[in-house]
Amino acid sequence: MDKELIKQCLGILLLVNNMLSKITRLKKSLSENKDHKTLANNFKYLMILQIAGYIFPLLTLPYLARVIGVEGFGKIAFAVAVIVWFQTITDWGFNYTATRDLAQNRDDPKKVSDIFSNILWSKIVLGIISFVLLIILIFCIPYFYENKELLLLTFLLVPANILYAEWFFQAIEKMKYITIFSLISKFLFTIMVFLVIREKSDYIYQPLLISLGAIMVGLVSFYIIVAKWGVSVKKPKYSEVRNTIKNSKDVFINNIVHNLYNSFSSVLVGFFGGSISNGILDAGTRFVNMANQFMTIIARVFFPFLSRSTDKHDIFCKINISLAIISSLILFFISPYLIKLFFTEEFSEAILVLKIMSFMLIFSTINNAYGINYMIIKGYEKDLRKITFNFSILGFILAFPLVYYFDYIGAAVNILSIRALIGLTVMYRAKKIKKKIEFGSLD
C-alpha cells in the first residue's frame, strides 16, 4: 500500500514538473511584446484573485459548518441551485459574446458605448423576466413557497450581476479592477459572517450578506466604467436590445442547458432527499467548484487574447488541461482530509462525493478550452450548442432515476458523466474544425 502511494505521489510530482516547465516557456514568450505583457499582468491579478477566493471562504467554512449545520448548508445550496437558472438567463451568454465584441472594438469609443448600453438594457429586461418567473414558481410550488425568503434573498445576486459588468473589464484586459472589487467584497462578507451568523436559524443571512456585498461592488464598478472610461449609457432602443439578445442566443442555450443536469440535479436532491442530502452534496462539490472557478477564470482571461491570437490556442490547451489533471488528482487524494478539516462529522459522507466530482474538473476544463476558447471564437456557437444541448437533455432524463434511487451519489455520478461526454465530444469537434481551417476538409 505504501509503495503504491509513493508511486502515485511520484506520478503527481512528474506532472507538476512538466507543468512548471511549460509555464516557464510560456513566461518567456509573454515577455516578448506588449500584448503578451498585458496577458501576463492579468495573470498576476488573477492569481491574487484566486488566492483570495480560496482563503476567504476557507476562513468561514468551518465556522458556518459548525453553526448552521448540514441542514442549513442544504437549504442554501437548494436556493443557489434555483437562482443559478435566473443568473444564467440574465447573463444570456454576454460574458463571452460581449467580451469578444468589445475586445475587437475597444479602440472605438462610440462602439464601446453602444455595446455596453445594449448589454446593460438587455440584462435589465432579462432580469425583470427572471423575477416574474421566480414569483410564479414560489406561488405554484409548495417547496418553493416554504423557502421563499431564502430564494428572494438569493435572487439579489441577479441585479448585482447586472450592475457588475465583469465582462467589460475582461474585454479591455484590466483584471486589476476585478481583483480589487472582489477582494473588497470578500473581505467585508467574511467579517459580517462572524458578526451576524450566530445560530442555526441565521443561515438565511448568508445569501443576504453575499448579495449586499455583490451589489456594492456592482455600483462601484458601474461608476468607474462611466466616470473613468467615459462610457455613455444610451437610451434603450427596442430593435437593438432585441438584436443583442438574439445574437447571443446560441451561447445562452449552451450555457443554460448545463443546468438541466447540473443545478437541476441539486434541486432534485432537495425534493427527494431533503436539506441534509443537499448539504452533503454541497460540501462534496464545494472544493471542486472552487477549483473549477479558477480554471474558468483562466479561460476567460485568455478569451480576448485568443480572440486576436488563435495560433496560441494549442499551448493554452496543453497548460490548462495539464493544470486541471494535477488539480483533480490532488483533490481526489486529499478529499478525506479536506472534509474532516473544514466540516463536522455529520458531513463525513461528502468524502465520496468529492472523490467522484474531483474528475469533473478535467472535463470542464476541456470543454472551456475547446468550446468557449475555440469554437465560440471561431464562430461555431451552434455546433457547441448542439453538443451541449443533446447531452444535457440526456443528463436531465438520467437525473430522475439516479437521484431518486441513489440520492446525492446519483447526482454526483450524473454530473460527472455528462461533463465527460460533453468535454470529450467538444474536443473531438474542435479538432475537426481545426483540421478544416488548416487543410480545408471537414467530414
Q: Contact at 8 Å (CB) between 155 and 86?
A: yes
Residue with cell 442555526: 200
Q: Which three cell numbers stand for residue 253?
A: 442555450
Average pLDDT, the chain: 83
Average pLDDT of the residues in 227-244:
88
Counting other chains too, the contacts that 232-236 makes at CB distance below 8 Å and 24 or more residues apart are 232/113, 232/117, 233/113, 233/116, 233/117, 233/120, 234/113, 234/114, 234/117, 236/117, 236/121
pLDDT, greater one: 39 or 286: 286
Residue with cell 479592477: 177
Average pLDDT of the residues in 306-320:
81
Q: Contact at 8 Å (CB) between 388 and 395?
A: no
- The amino acid at residue 357 is M
Most confident of 92-106, 226-240, 320-334: 320-334
pLDDT, greater one: 152 or 51: 152
pLDDT tens, 176-218? Answer: 776 777 787 778 888 888 889 999 889 899 889 888 888 888 8
Confidence category of residue 290, pLDDT binned at 50, 70, 90: confident
E strand or H helix that includes residue 45: helix 34-91
Tell me: pLDDT of 259 over 60.
yes
Q: Which of 382, 124, 375 is nearest to 250 (CA)?
A: 382
Determine the pLDDT at residue 8: 46
Determine the pLDDT at residue 335: 94
Determine the pLDDT at residue 166: 78
Tell me: pLDDT of 131 over 50.
yes
Tell me: pLDDT of 1 over 50.
no
Q: Contact at 8 Å (CB) between 290 and 51?
A: no
Orientation angle between helical segments 205-227 and 34-91, nearest 10 degrees: 130
Write the CB contacts of 74 (distance below 8 Å, at least 6 apart in sequence): 270, 274, 275, 276, 277, 278, 279, 280, 281, 282
Tell me: pLDDT of 96 over 90.
no
SS3 230: coil
Q: Which three cell numbers stand for residue 308?
A: 486576436
- The amino acid at residue 322 is S
Determine the pLDDT at residue 61: 83
Most confident of 211-225, 268-282, 322-336: 322-336
Determine the pLDDT at residue 443: 47
